[in-house]
């Protein structure tokens, strides 16, 4: 699979590819997306096949500007206008009531649709050149770690994608915040870089966070218990328990992803250190998990990062990437 530099010429080529019903992987500020023409149901179906994703998992439609939202959504509430004015373009996807003519292939059978304006120059240039909506989930195989570099996409999807546009490493590194505005109350469906308090301060109203899966009626891949997972068994534990785990697994091949702690190297042990800085941590998390996963270790041990709002998105992804959390 050839990776193309995101030059104007290659963005034009990618646009033609999308218009012909092809699949184009492209960088966004969060993670790489696997894009198809959102108005072409046959093209969108290829996304599900390439990812091996169940067809009832709805996709996010990416648009060049908020002005295009009413081509896809109806009854757009005032709150969406406020958020768009304050945040867009940004890592924030809004769930709105879809227009009847929008194919349910895109929305996985839902009457609602996720829309977002990504804040990345390559994504925006592609969207502007293309003109329409680009349906794009993260460009990984279903239930695997999202790609934050072009090479990750090639490793994940190989020949099933027609073109990969390389825009370097993603700045944010975890997927967008998803806010559902289709019901009576704004509800946070996925944590991302834009936090609940930031949303609340712009909306001047409470944002609800469902406390259990059972309360969610919509199939949201990001809400599944096992998601974003490496193939190596992974556990997360507090720094006080790190020495206990290291001792218990002394004779196993183990990878440790630290957040602040100093862990000595041993022949059996690969240590990757990330700083106690949520921005840098998020930028690197998926790439480092991928690196550790490729080493075919017996176990990946992740040191529990701090637990405050700045770390919500990271802790959410870690709880899904690891089978158990010991804290
Ligand atoms: O940061 C991102 O949002 C990346 C980049 C590529 O834009 N995209 C991404 O897409 O993470 P994906 O498909 O991996 O995750 C989208 C999430 C899924 O969990 C999906 O179920 C949810 O959005 N979603 C989409 N439409 C929805 C809807 N109508 N109602 C509820 N959840 C929805
Ligand atoms: Mg995904």
Mean pLDDT of the chain: 93
What is the SS3 assignment for 27? coil
* Model pLDDT for residues 221-278, shown as the tens digit of each residue: 444 445 567 889 999 999 999 999 999 999 999 999 999 999 988 899 999 999 999 9
Ligand 1, CB within 6 Å, residue ranges: 28, 30-31, 33, 57-60, 91, 93, 95, 107, 110, 112-114, 118, 136-138, 175-176, 178, 189, 218, 220-222
For residue 212, the model assigns a pLDDT of 57
Residues with CB under 5 A from ligand 2 (ion): 138
Q: Which residue from 50, 58, 18 is spatially nearest to 154, judged by alpha carbons?
A: 50
Domains of the chain: 3-215 (3.90.870.10), 234-326 (3.40.50.11030)
Pairwise CA distance, residues 123 & 61, whole Å = 12
Q: Give, as one character, the DSSP assignment of residue 208.
A: B
For residue 217, the model assigns a pLDDT of 40
Cα–Cα distance list, 111 to 95, 97, 198, 199 (Å): 10, 6, 27, 24
- Burial category of 181 from C-beta neighbours within 10 Å (exposed 0-12, middle 13-18, buried 19 and up): buried
* Model pLDDT for residues 44-67, shown as the tens digit of each residue: 999 999 999 999 999 999 999 999
Mean pLDDT for the stretch of residues 309-317: 96
* Model pLDDT for residues 75-108, shown as the tens digit of each residue: 999 999 999 999 999 999 999 999 999 999 999 9
pLDDT band at 214 (very low <50, low <70, confident <90, very high): very low
Whole-number Å distance, alpha carbon 40 to ligand 2 midpoint, is: 21
Mean pLDDT for the stretch of residues 170-176: 98
* Model pLDDT for residues 28-41, shown as the tens digit of each residue: 999 999 999 999 99
Task: Identify which of 119, 138, 216 to mutate to test ligand 1's pocket (most ligand atoms within 8 A of the CB).
Answer: 138
Concatenated DSSP letters of 91-138: SEEEEEEEPTTS-TTTTTT-SEEEEE----HHHHHHHHHH-S-EE--B
What is the SS3 assignment for 237? strand
pLDDT band at 2 (very low <50, low <70, confident <90, very high): confident
pLDDT band at 216 (very low <50, low <70, confident <90, very high): very low
Q: Global pTM?
A: 0.94
Whole-number Å distance, alpha carbon 258 to ligand 2 midpoint, is: 24
Task: Identify which of 220, 226, 228, 317 to mutate to test ligand 1's pocket (most ligand atoms within 8 A of the CB).
Answer: 220
Pairwise CA distance, residues 93 & 172, whole Å = 15
* Model pLDDT for residues 187-200, shown as the tens digit of each residue: 999 999 999 999 99
């Amino acid at each position: 699979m050839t990776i193309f530099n995101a030059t104007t010429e290659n963005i034009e080529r990618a646009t033609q590819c999308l218009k012909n019903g092809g699949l184009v992987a492209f960088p966004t500020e969060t993670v790489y997306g696997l894009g198809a023409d959102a108005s072409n149901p046959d093209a969108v179906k290829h996304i599900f096949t390439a990812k091996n994703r169940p067809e009832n998992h709805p996709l996010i439609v990416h648009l060049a500007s908020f002005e295009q939202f009413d081509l896809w959504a109806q009854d757009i509430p005032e709150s969406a206008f406020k958020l768009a004015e304050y945040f867009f373009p940004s890592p924030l996807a809004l769930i709105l009531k879809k227009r009847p003519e929008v194919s349910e292939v895109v929305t996985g059978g839902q009457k609602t649709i996720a829309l977002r304006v990504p804040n990345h120059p390559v994504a925006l240039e592609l969207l502007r050149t293309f003109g329409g909506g680009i349906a794009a989930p993260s460009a990984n195989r279903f239930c695997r770690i999202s790609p934050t570099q072009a090479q990750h996409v090639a490793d994940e999807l190989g020949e099933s994608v027609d073109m990969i546009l390389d825009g370097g490493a993603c700045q944010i590194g975890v997927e967008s915040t998803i806010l559902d505005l289709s019901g009576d109350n704004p509800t946070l469906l996925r944590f991302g870089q834009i936090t609940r308090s930031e949303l609340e301060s712009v909306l001047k109203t409470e944002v609800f966070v469902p406390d259990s899966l059972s309360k969610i009626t919509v199939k949201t891949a990001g809400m599944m218990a096992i998601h974003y997972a490496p193939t190596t068994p992974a556990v997360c534990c507090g720094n006080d328990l790190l020495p206990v785990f290291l001792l218990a697994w002394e004779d196993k091949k183990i990878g440790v992803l630290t957040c602040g702690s100093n862990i000595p190297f041993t022949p059996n042990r690969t240590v990757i250190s990330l700083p106690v800085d949520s921005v840098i941590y998020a930028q690197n998390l998926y790439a480092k998990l991928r690196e550790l996963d490729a080493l075919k270790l017996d176990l990946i041990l992740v040191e529990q990062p701090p637990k405050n709002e700045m770390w919500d998105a990271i802790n959410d992804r870690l709880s899904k990437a690891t089978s158990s959390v010991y804290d």
